[in-house]
Structure 1
Amino acid sequence: MSRIRMRVHLHNDSDAALELVDQGMSSGQFTPGGHPPPRIEPGQRPRISSEGKLLATAPATGAQGHVTYRITGTGPVGEVHVGWNSPLVESDYGNTFTVTAPEGWEVSHWGGQGHEGRLEVRLRRSAVRLVPGFHPRGRGLPFDNGGWRAGLPSMTLGHVWNQLLDSLPDPLGDVLGIVPVDDDWLPLTHAEDGMCGGMVFTVMDLFHHHLVPDPSTRQPVSADDPLYAHLRQRLWDSFDVGGRGHRWLAYSSPHYPNGDDGVLQDVLGLARGRSWVSYREAWPDMQADIDAGRPSPVGLIRTASLEIQHNHTVLAYGYRRSGQTVTLHVYDPSAHLPDRGNPEVQLHFDVTSTGGEVHVRRTVDGVREDGRHRIWAFLRIDGYEPVRPPLGRRITSLVDAVRATTAGRPGPDSVREAMAATGGGASTTAWVRSL
């Protein structure tokens, strides 16, 4: 076993200086030259290094430590805390971290796993961060996930169930009470049962190919329609069968634990709770997608009784984090309104603790809308590969460009806003072409 080491790279990507107020190692020690600096100026990215202590030639301890810095300057103030625990013998949770900041500040972290861990921590002022060039008003499909013509064939649910179960790691299926069903169980679901995953992947296809849907596009009414065939195939793809799509089943089980304390963790050591997989795994992956300029497909687990037909898919295209509170901006295929188009839908949650249940609040155009489905967990859907869609057109007008990038109405102010938000060039023509 190699010596336990943890390096913390603290990126101060803010305009405020940080002053050290506390530091310590509960296990292990800071390395020579790796002690926390007393002050971190804006733009600096110091490295803090720690390691486990040695007994003879074998590692005797892990590396567990913390630093706390006070934010100075104007605006919201408070303290940034970074704690890390790289144990001698890793648990099912691996190396774990506690990274917090006060309201008005965004702190995020990534990496840090393994015996030679490198944890990256970034501090910024809170702000709405959006995928450049994406807004559901112009990028989302111009029809709703409801109102499908009755009888349009979708897929065989029993077959999907068994495919997902086959990819579930042993012995989780038995532990979670998930058993095979006949392939013809609920033999043929229909479009009226929901096509959300197919709609989300189709919107991603359009965005990838620099296309927008024509506002006059109508909801398909025939299984022979090329658009419906595409939506149907993309619905299947959104289940990520053969990848990690088994999470759709696992997180929907009544036996899956909500928080960190459950029989699966304490006795079997098999599963991380719904709060952990949502707040510590899904959310950072979604944030990384958005920071990289790509929308992120999100699965919402809306059942704890294996009624997987109630689960739902949305597309995250922006976020704002303030302290431990996250506001996620999403395109929801089921939120399209005939008189207003695709509204601004937001999901709100607090990532402070993974010890209890997941709590998600939903708003539509700023108005709270609880809905009839509770969100038990959420996941970042893997396996997306772009496919050329059978619809869409290039952006050729300022109207299209503004609709695709902002919630504003076309006009001089909204054009300037959209160009600024997407890093447009010197001319409106160049900006439109860039989209």
Structure 2
Amino acid sequence: MAVEIQNESPVPLVWDRDQMDSGDWTDPWYPSRAATITPGATAEWRAEGDLFVGPTTGTEGRVWYNIGGDPGRQLYVHFNSPLVESQYGNTFHVWAPPGFEAAYNGGQGHHARLRIRLRETSRRQVRGFTPSVNGFQFSNSWSPDLPAMAVGFLWNRLLDELGGEAAGALGIARVDDGWLPITQASAGMCGGMTFAAMDYFAAGKLPPAETSSPTSDADPLFQFIRDRLLDSFDISGSGHRWLGYSSPHYPNGDEGFIQVAGLARGRAWVTCRDEWPRIRDDIDAGRLSPLGLIQTDSLDIGRNHQVLAYAYQQSGQVVQLWVYDNNYPGRDDLYLQFDITDTTGGVDITRFGSYQPGEPRIFCIFRSDGYNPHTPPGGRQLSVRQVMERVTGRKFGRLPDDIGLPRPASLRGWLSSV
């Protein structure tokens, strides 16, 4: 196991102590060798299991660094690469104090490299995306008279992908294909609206300005959102998670749950260890991240929801994740908050902002797979100001010449000078 630490904070990391629980440090790659990691620098240390002809143990250890030399503010790294991997693979706990963000990736396999990045806490956002501007102006509320796919059809296709053994262990059975039309007002088309909003953003356009959802099945926008709804469930990929994570037999924490292929980690682990890093990486790369919210543990998958993550802030172990929620058009203050410290029990995901009371509990968050951009119908062109904000990542209340910047004859010339 190699561990690489990149210090992107403005203060040095000073080695405090280390502990080897299983195996040995690899000579000469001791943590104490990287006694000080200066701002902007990267350091590495390594560990390996015990050997006797062949490997006899895995390797597990812990390292503490004082941030800025202050023992009251520590970066803690715990790694465990067992000889025989469990359903969790290699496991890690990387913690930083409030005011700092510790992120990591990699580290799987028997010859693994874990990469850790330490930064000061800051809100990080996809350039140019604001829900009140780039989201639909109407809410996720639809006429029950519109023809559409039914939940029963979707359920049975997801069940086919889940497989019979896993479905049996989780108490999931087939239903009638026509059960529960998705476009009933009580069910909504949140996944289609989420993917469609991503499509308009990818095309450099704004969604149509209508403030009411389409009421005709001949409306091109309705047809597009309906088709994207089916796409959002990723039926032939990992969409079976909608069923698996919604089962009353699926565990919230790490211990005592049914071991089934592909469904071997509790909802808290899925949220904090598997999916949150994927969402964070999307936003860091400037990509919107579509989310599935599991809001039931009774297989009532119509209660689940899909939203779009576009910004986050992590302070210590507390994550704040800003979302475009199509149930609340025009709202820029909506975010989800959860603590990633511990996964032994259920994860506590709390809504903040102008959410209304009575929203259902969120049992689990996962990143939706299967998104590929499609060409949306219609749409509005971005204004010059919106183009500039998307390209530069800066907010402009007025045109460039009004904020004291030279204004070349063309927008291209001005953008190249920024």
TM over 0.5, shorter chain: yes
* 1:24-423 correspondence runs (5 A): 24-36=19-31, 37-55=34-52, 57-72=53-68, 78-146=73-141, 148-186=142-180, 188-192=181-185, 193-216=187-210, 218-265=212-259, 271-336=264-329, 341-365=330-354, 369-398=356-385, 410-411=397-398
- SS of the residue corresponding to residue 263 of structure 1 reads coil
Q: Which runs of 5+ in 1 are unaligned?
A: 1-5, 420-424
Tell me if structure 2 keeps the 8 A contact 1:282–1:378: yes
The alpha-carbon deviation at position 217 of structure 1 amounts to 6.3
Conservation of the 8 A alpha-carbon contact between 1:152 and 1:222: yes
> How many residues get paired?
410
Q: Deviations over 1:222-279 (max 9, x none)?
A: 11111110000000001010100000001101111010112315x9995211101111
- Aligned partner of residue 275 in structure 2, secondary structure: helix
What SS does the corresponding residue of 1:228 show, helix, strand or coil? helix
Residue identity opposite 1:320 in structure 2: Q
Q: Match of 2:47, as an amino acid?
A: S
Q: Is the 8 A contact 2:128 2:386 kept in 1?
A: no
Is the Cα–Cα contact under 8 Å of residues 143 and 183 in structure 2 kept in the other structure? no
Partner of 1:422 in structure 2? none
Alpha-carbon separation, structure 1, partners of 2:4 and 2:396:
43
Tell me, in whole angstroms, the C-alpha distance in 2 between the residues paired with 1:293 and 1:399.
16
Aligned CA distance change for structure 1 residues 86 and 318 (closer, same or farther; 3 Å) = same
Q: 2:166 touches 2:261 (CA, 8 Å); kept in 1?
A: no
Secondary structure, counterpart of 1:313 in structure 2: strand
CA pair 371-343 structure 1, distance change in 2 beyond 3 A = farther
Measure how far apart 1:429 and its partner are. 2.7
Q: Structure 2 vs 1, CA of residues 432 and 230 (structure 1 numbering), >3 Å: closer, same or farther?
A: farther
CA contact (8 A) 1:259 1:354 kept: yes
SS at match of 1:236: helix
Structure 2 CA distance for aligned equivalents of residues 16 and 426 of structure 1: 40
Aligned-partner Cα distance in 1 for 2:193–2:337:
23
Q: For residues 170 and 64 of structure 1, do their structure 2 counterparts lie closer, same or farther at Cα, with a shift above 3 Å needed?
A: farther
Q: Structure 2 stretches of 5 or more lacking a match?
A: none
| Cα distance in 1 for residues equivalent to 2:366 and 2:191 | 13
Distance in structure 1 (CA, Å) of the matches to 2:101 and 2:125:
15
Bigger Cα displacement from structure 2, 404-413 vs 189-198? 404-413
Contact 2:295–2:361, Cα closer than 8 Å, also in 1 = yes
1:429 aligns with 2:411: yes
Paired with 1:287 and 1:431, the residues of 2 have a C-alpha distance of 33
Distance of aligned partners of 1:52 and 1:406 in 2 relative to their CA distance in 1, 3 Å threshold: closer
Taking structure 1 as reference, are residues 180 and 262 closer, same or farther at Cα in structure 2, changes over 3 Å only?
Answer: same
Residues 1:70 and 1:60: Cα distance change in structure 2 (over 3 Å): same
Distance 2:341 2:234 in 1: 29
Structure 1 residues 407 and 261, CA gap change in structure 2 (3 angstroms): farther
* Rounded Cα–Cα distance in structure 1 between residues aligned with 2:144 and 2:92: 50
* Secondary structure in 2 matching 1:116: coil
* Displacement over 4 Å in runs of 4+: 267-270, 399-409, 425-428, 431-434
CA distance in 2, matches of 1:178, 1:324: 35
Q: Aligned to 1:93, what secondary structure does the other structure show?
A: coil
The answer to whether the 8 A contact 1:29-1:51 is kept is yes
Deviation at 1:308, TM superposition (A): 0.6
CA offsets 1:173-212 (integer angstroms, 9 cap, x no match): 00110011122233x3325220110000001111111111
Task: Please state whether the residue corresponding to 1:253 is helix, strand or coil.
Answer: coil
Q: What is the RMSD of the two structures over their aligned residues, measured on CA atoms?
A: 2.8
Query: 251-260 or 208-217: which moved more?
Result: 208-217
Aligned partners of 1:16 and 1:71 also within 8 Å: yes
